[in-house]
Structure 1
Amino acid sequence: MSAVKPKPFWERPLDQLSRDEWEALCDGCGQCCLHKVEDEDTGEIYHTNVACKLLDLKTAQCSNYAGRRKFVPDCMKLTPETAGRLSWLPPSCAYRLRAEGDPLPDWHYLVCGDRDAVHRAGMSVAGKVISETVAGPLENHIVWPYGDDGDFDDDDDEDTGENPWAVLPPDRKD
């Protein structure tokens, strides 16, 4: 009789992960590195196609991860405590998924073994965004809102199957 094989670390509760395991959860999509705009009256969060100045636009990786807070003081540090509370985290975020008790998607590199799967699945911002250094007013770059329930649109009647991270042109009036 063989011993029971332990669960992969990414299936354990977030508060049981080592620092290296925590860091390994990130799929490298870069979505959390996009600027958001909050409506002061409603509190609604609007996502933009404008990336942090440290994001490599071709790879969706931070160009100075270790020193990022020195150059971007408001860069959010995710923790097991905050991962499930930040409604602006994309619904596909591994930290959010695990905080909510959900499994990682099939395209996550820890599941499939392929770091580029996130890009092929269309979940990465690589090649789809611009840098804050050239963007101008963020309000001109709003591409989508979504609420706390993770819905990507206002139409709850049907799932369109559209990629929620596809960038809309800044002048689109949807």
Structure 2
Amino acid sequence: MEDRFWETKSLDDMSREEWEAICDGCAKCCLHKFIDDDDAVEAAPTDYMEHNETIHYTSIACDLLNTKTCSCTRYAERQQLVPDCVKLTKENLKDIFFMPTSCAYRRLHEGRGLPFWHPLLNRGKKTAMHREGMSVRGKTVPESDADLDNFEEYIAIWPLEDLD
């Protein structure tokens, strides 16, 4: 891969290998999320968020997540195994309201560059990301162990926002 390709190419112009490399591997996209909407009768999937709504991340992680490495144990099959699994593409990038502000794809899409802790800026290692608390490592409970009827009790209070 070309050195610092993310500084010279748009997300649209990246190869598949480059696109995959942009993922910082924090696993925040593997967390259950909900939108705080006082008017909603029951929880339902959505493709948009109203301006007066707030997205909340929980500490409930997909059962396919390896919480030590912060990677999916069945990445190639994730869409079949978990139909609502996030699959970020060049085509749906404009609709990434559900991704945290620290997400590398979101940052590049918004013109903010990669964060200092990103593995591409740290010899491909996730150490800086984990050290800065920007991954879900050590902060989650598997969905099979969570009381999903009381998901509000799992709202994440650890840092989800950018550090820089």
TM range (shorter): 0.7 to 0.9
Answer with 1 or 2: which has the greater Rg.
1
Matched, 1:13 2:13: no
Task: Report whether the alignment pairs 1:73 with 2:70.
Answer: no
Aligned residues: 143
- The answer for unaligned runs of 5 or more in structure 1 is 1-5, 145-162, 167-174
Summarize the alignment of residues 102-117 of structure 1 with structure 2, pairs less than 5 Å apart.
Answer: 102-113=112-123, 114-117=125-128
Which residue of the other structure, out of 124, 141, 148, is the alignment partner of 2:154?
Answer: 141
Contact 1:49–1:129 (8 Å) recurs in 2: yes
Q: Map of 1:8-157 to 2, 5 A cutoff?
A: 8-11=4-7, 12-40=9-37, 41=39, 43-113=53-123, 114-137=125-148, 138-144=151-157
4+ residue segments displaced more than 6 Å: none
Q: Which residue of 2 aligns with 1:147?
A: none
Kept in 2: contact 1:32–1:89 (CA 8 A): yes
Deviations 1:97-119 (CA, angstroms, capped at 9, x unpaired)? 11111110111111121332211
Which segments of 5 or more consecutive residues in structure 2 lack a partner in the other structure?
A: 40-51
Normalised by the length of structure 2, the TM-score is: 0.79
**How many percent identity over aligned positions?**
48
Give the number of the structure whose residues are more often helix, by fraction: 2
RMSD (Å), alpha carbons: 2.0
State the TM-score, normalized to the length of structure 1: 0.75
Please give the alpha-carbon distance, in whole angstroms, between the structure 2 residues aligned to 1:141 and 1:121.
Answer: 21
* Aligned counterparts of 2:29 and 2:135: Cα–Cα separation in 1: 10
Note if contact 1:54-1:62 (Cα within 8 Å) is conserved in structure 2.
Answer: yes
The question of whether the paired residues in 2 share the 8 Å contact of 1:108 and 1:117 is answered with yes
